[in-house]
Amino acid sequence: MTEEEGYIVVLGCKKCGKCDNVCPTGALQKDNNGMIKIDYDKCTLCMKCVEVCPNKALVYME
């Protein structure tokens, strides 16, 4: 993934778990506090997590 393609940022994750199984590449992971973080080496920018998050905590940045 290059910078030109953009990336997903996590802003105010509420730990609701709705995005638990949506990532097809396993890029969406939880840290020790249950907060979502993204493995940018695995993320393909498919946008599934962005669409599923009810709290708009996952945001695509160009």
Which member of 6, 9, 17, 59 binds ligand SF4 (CB under 6 A)?
Answer: 17
Distance in angstroms (rounded) separating the CA atoms of residues 40 and 36: 13
Which member of 31, 33, 37, 53 binds ligand SF4 (CB under 6 A)?
Answer: 53
Count of residues binding ligand SF4 (CB under 6 A)?
26
Distance in angstroms (rounded) separating the CA atoms of residues 56 and 41: 22
Distance in angstroms (rounded) separating the CA atoms of residues 34 and 15: 6
Binding site for ligand SF4 (CB under 6 A): 8, 13-19, 22-23, 25, 27-28, 36, 38, 43-49, 53, 55, 57-58
